[in-house]
Structure 1
Amino acid sequence: MMAATKRIALGAVVTALVAGLAGCSGPGPGADGPGAGAGKESAPGAEGNSPAAAPKGPVNLIGDGSTAFTGAQPKLPAAKRLKPGQKPPQFVVFSWDGAGEDSQKLFSHFRAVAKKYDAKMTYFLSGVYLLPEEKKELYDPPQHAAGRSDIGFNDTKGIRHTLTELRAAWLDGNEIGTHFNGHFCGPDGGVGTWSVEEWKSEISQAKAFVKGWKTNAPALKGEAPLPFDYDKELIGARTPCLEGQKNMVAAARTMGFRYDSSGVGNQVWPAKKEGIWDLPLQLVPVPGRAFETLSMDYNFMFNQSGTTQGDPGKHEYWGNQMRDGLLQAFGRAYNGNRAPLIIGNHFESWNGGTYMRAVEETMKTVCTQRDVQCVSFRQLTDWLDAQAPATLAKLGTLKVGQKPEPGWTAFLAGTGPAKPAGSPVPARPADQPAGKGADGSAG
């Protein structure tokens, strides 16, 4: 664990280490990504990852049939309140900004990886990835001309493949959040300059593109609906470049949101901000360096090479450095305060895909540990809401990596009633080996 004296204050990291903070760069016009004709040669369900089975219950179409209510989400266990003195599980959240299936097939790949390691994840969908290029004028972004988007739009094939993955992801028990639409960053009309009312418009449009893709892409009218009511499904987000959080939250908390992951924080237990859970990206170690960076692939890339096409001879080292940094962060939480570990990613092959390898190896190591639950933000939010306030308050007193001195039983004794808030979340078998890597070593 990195010594406390070497940890960098949040403000210093924002201003000095991560200029352009969590870049979430996303593909621009002409790039080989969802914003520029996604999936031009791709086939859904890559690497044998067949789509999840269709809902077995009644399908009640909503609006033009782009979405439907199909009942409670499958494979989503109810949260359970901790008993007095019970050690909390170690939650790990893997999340993806601007989720869409393009020719890299990373959405389908990581959906298969998650199933392999019994993980649920959050996919922050960019609404314009369900809007065809020829209908781009339907998007009226705040402070920009209609039809403008810094990540482009999509084509029919790309929309179809993205829909395939969204359906299957939800049926697998994953969460579909939002990364909003045009991904505007910086001082010139970027999301950080938007008013509360402008954010309400952006959120409404992000919902509308998900709820109206059949109307906007007539060639896809015969496709199956997304199996959820997006007005109920959408409970959280991450803003582009981590900008504009204050006004976005002020808008979002009036529109059904329960959490936000646009902030910058430490590995401590979360609290509510302005009425919703603040679940920020976190400062994690950068092995071999005297500073910490945000728990996101972009930030490791920025601090290592400053470019997505860095020295090929260093690709393996950079990926290992990210993986080992995340494992060190996991280890100090798992063996310390048990604060949820929040990890953000993009479906991108930056620096030869080394960060995608790092994420996959991290999932393989941490999600198989005893008492670890790799969950979506929705699951984490449900669990937090199920806890006794006194329990959360006590957990909130623990610092980064701090293990309760008297032990968990004494530390959380008497913090609240043992009344369950729902059916138990399945735990890993007690006889399952903890495995290696929990201390942050390269597993």
Structure 2
Amino acid sequence: MDALSRRTLLAGGAATAAALAAGCAGTLSPNGEEAAPVQDSGGTADGTPKPPASLIGDGSTSDTGPQPQQPEAVPLELGQRPPQFVVFSWDGAGELDNQLFQRFRQLAQDHDARMTFFLSGLYTLPEGKKDLYRPPQHPVGASDIGYLSDEHVHATIRQVGEAWLEGHEIGTHFNGHFCGPTGGGRWSPEEWDSEIEQAMDFVMNWRTNTGFTDLPALPFDYRKELIGGRTPCLEGQRGLLPTAAKRGWKYDSSGPGGLQVWPQKFQGGALWDLPLQSIPFPGHSFQVLSMDYNIMYNQSGSSTKGDSSLYGAWQTQARDSYLAGFERAYSTNRAPMIIGNHFEQWNGGIYMNAVEETLKAVAGKPEVRLVSFRQLVEWLEVQDPAVLRKLQALAPGESPAGGWPSYLGGPAATGS
């Protein structure tokens, strides 16, 4: 099942494109009551025993303690060159027959990478329960991404739980993926609050809503896990931010295309601004947004099945675009590189291949860290504010004057 997510485009003059999609629905009813601690049966993906779990509510989620496989965030030493962070993020994060969720989890394991999965809440809700979803400014049960089959809801829930145990972050892509005149760009902070609350409810009550009895509880408390998201079509950030700040979120990745610079906080210092980025687009004088859909749109327009004779060239162009963005940062200001994707087989799956090639190409390079947004934020928040200001002052493609030891105030003898 293919789904085409409509997105704001940055394509050197290309405008917003229309979008289609296939998806899932949602349900409502977390009571937040916690049961007595129980030992969940089974083990993690690598065969180690699961920690004792305190089940939450109906047992759909649980508190299993600190997330496994998380790096310690430490401040830079004086004069130390910063790492090159790369964030691979996924919008929707539903598992279909193509098993792309599973494919990229395995890729991450093979290369010591962590990613962020922006889960659409409706991907945990059967279509038969769609009347539980009350989207802002739309009829009950409406959804521009449809609903997943029960089989795919089941597969998605399993993938989400296993991904978290492997160290990946579970964020949110909200629910119905509404864009344009009736989309989130016109929603009030209160309507965004309702959308978030419902997304959390669907994830935290999948057991009641699906009736599945053969899946373990998700190993995290989503009320604590959820610290950021990305809006459908990159629309509605203005209405979302007050609600996100009030909820204590740490970041937002809904910006319509940022420069490759070090992140700064916005919304009165409450949130880190972590948008997709403008990166070089080989063969063109303009830049493209660092997301598979936007690259595709500049190659085959809104068609997800373009000229197959061009697939090889398009895949190379997509990969080289990501690598050009990476190299611009890696060799100069070391700004975190942010890439967005969808689990889709557009144009024969070339964008999945391109992002896999990109990850493999950068993973083994010195000082490169493949992290989730949560991990990036944790690193940013332990840095000396004066050091961060120096990093933020560097423009895209700008190297630090005098080298890193001089620029960040350390002895000239260490790492230039």
Structure 2 length normalisation: TM-score? 0.89
Q: Which runs of 5+ in 2 are unaligned?
A: 1-7, 26-43
Equivalent residue for 2:308? 312
Q: Please say if residues 89 and 373 of structure 1, whose CA atoms lie closer than 8 Å, have aligned partners that are also in contact.
A: yes
Equivalent in 91, 95, 99 of residue 97 of structure 1: 91
Equivalent in 359, 367, 375 of residue 371 of structure 2: 375
Q: Please say if residues 76 and 173 of structure 1, whose CA atoms lie closer than 8 Å, have aligned partners that are also in contact.
A: yes
Residue 19 of structure 1 pairs with residue 13 of structure 2: no
Q: How does 1:341-360 map to 2 (within 5 A)?
A: 341-360=337-356
- Indicate the percent of aligned positions where both proteins have the same amino acid: 55
* 1:397–1:193 CA distance, 2 compared to 1 (3 A): same
Counterparts of 2:48 and 2:222 in 1: how far apart (Å)?
17
Counterparts of 2:146 and 2:263 in 1: how far apart (Å)?
34
Equivalent in 175, 183, 196 of residue 190 of structure 1: 183
1:327 partner letter: L
Residue 239 of structure 1 pairs with residue 231 of structure 2: yes
3-state secondary structure, aligned to 2:13:
helix
Equivalent residue for 2:335? 339
Superposed CA offset, 1:225-269 (max 9, x none): 000000000001000000001111111111121001111201000
Deviation at 1:152, TM superposition (A): 1.1
Counterparts of 2:307 and 2:121 in 1: how far apart (Å)?
34
Q: How does 1:104-123 map to 2 (within 5 A)?
A: 104-123=98-117
2:274 partner letter: L
Q: How does 1:193-208 map to 2 (within 5 A)?
A: 193-208=186-201
Equivalent in 278, 281, 304 of residue 276 of structure 2: 281
Q: Which runs of 5+ in 1 are unaligned?
A: 1-10, 29-33, 37-49, 416-429, 431-443
Equivalent residue for 2:205? 212
Superposed CA offset, 1:23-75 (max 9, x none): 7x5633xxxxx549xxxxxxxxxxxxx93446532110000000000010000
Residue 411 of structure 1 pairs with residue 404 of structure 2: no
Counterparts of 1:126 and 1:134 in 2: how far apart (Å)?
17
Q: Which moved more, 1:250-259 or 1:95-104?
A: 250-259
* 1:52–1:245 CA distance, 2 compared to 1 (3 A): farther
Number of residue pairs aligned between Structure 1 and Structure 2 = 383
3-state secondary structure, aligned to 1:265:
coil
Q: Please say if residues 53 and 171 of structure 1, whose CA atoms lie closer than 8 Å, have aligned partners that are also in contact.
A: no
Equivalent residue for 2:173? 179
Q: Please say if residues 52 and 171 of structure 1, whose CA atoms lie closer than 8 Å, have aligned partners that are also in contact.
A: no
Equivalent residue for 2:56? 62
Equivalent residue for 1:223? 215
Equivalent in 66, 77, 90 of residue 71 of structure 2: 77
Equivalent residue for 1:295? 290
Counterparts of 2:390 and 2:165 in 1: how far apart (Å)?
35
1:62 partner letter: I
Equivalent residue for 1:384? 380
Superposed CA offset, 1:365-393 (max 9, x none): 01111100000000000001111110110
Query: Aligned-pair RMSD on alpha carbons?
Result: 1.9
Counterparts of 1:54 and 1:68 in 2: how far apart (Å)?
18
Superposed CA offset, 1:396-416 (max 9, x none): 11011111120100100169x
Q: Please say if residues 51 and 165 of structure 1, whose CA atoms lie closer than 8 Å, have aligned partners that are also in contact.
A: no
Structure 1 length normalisation: TM-score? 0.84
Q: How does 1:150-169 map to 2 (within 5 A)?
A: 150-169=144-163
Equivalent in 255, 279, 293 of residue 247 of structure 2: 255
Counterparts of 1:82 and 1:241 in 2: how far apart (Å)?
36
Q: Please say if residues 281 and 287 of structure 2, whose CA atoms lie closer than 8 Å, have aligned partners that are also in contact.
A: yes
Superposed CA offset, 1:266-315 (max 9, x none): 10001001110000100001101111010000000011110111100111
Counterparts of 2:20 and 2:111 in 1: how far apart (Å)?
27
